[in-house]
Structure 1
Amino acid sequence: MDHRGDIAALTVREGQVAERIAWGASQKEVADDLGISRYTVDNILRKIYEKLHIGKINELSAWWFCTTFGISFDLSPLKRTIGALGLVAVFVVGEVNQDWQFCRYRAERVRMERIIRIKE
């Protein structure tokens, strides 16, 4: 059941789009990063899906990580679970490593509301 191609089957631009999408970027972020329109990104994604015989972004992410890191698609359930946990760990570390911005901004917004209420 090896219906998935390897990374060499994609053009350079398709590889760039696939990588950014796999790491969780939105189509708009990919377009801004590569200096192309969002519609071009959408067309490139359709071509990628066609070439790889997939239909969802999460399938593209799984394909990209497995292909890039040499993880076999024919793994036992235990090995797949361990691999998935490893990828989740990488994702969580990346999210936590962003200087806790998601917590800091929320706290600042609450403080601003309190200051405004006191002045009124």
Structure 2
Amino acid sequence: MSQELDFLLDIDGGGVVEKDGASAYVENLREWLHTPVTTRYGNPAWGNNLSMYKHEPMCSDTARSIENSILLKLPKDCPQIRVAEILCTPVEKDMYRISIFTNYGLVDEVVSI
């Protein structure tokens, strides 16, 4: 059984929110989406490489490139998560809504590139 703390360290009456089972894997993926490569202490290779799209035009071609980038990098960092589908759409300047359908459920996040 996997356990994961809420990556934004949300708290409730019992302290920092903990996730178990499938929701722990979803939380791990949420953290991965918000963690650029080289920023995780002790494991700088872990995280997304989406910052390379920061100065690209916000269009469907860039969104498809982001989807492919996630498909290539995520299995290396989180091998237990299998991706069924990814949808990426521009929201506003340097922000994309990324929806990832996994074997543990849907992760739908607005991510700053």
TM-score, with length taken from structure 2? 0.27
Task: Name the one with the larger helix percent.
Answer: 1
The structure having more radius of gyration, on CA atoms, is 1
Alignment TM-score, normalising by the size of structure 1: 0.25
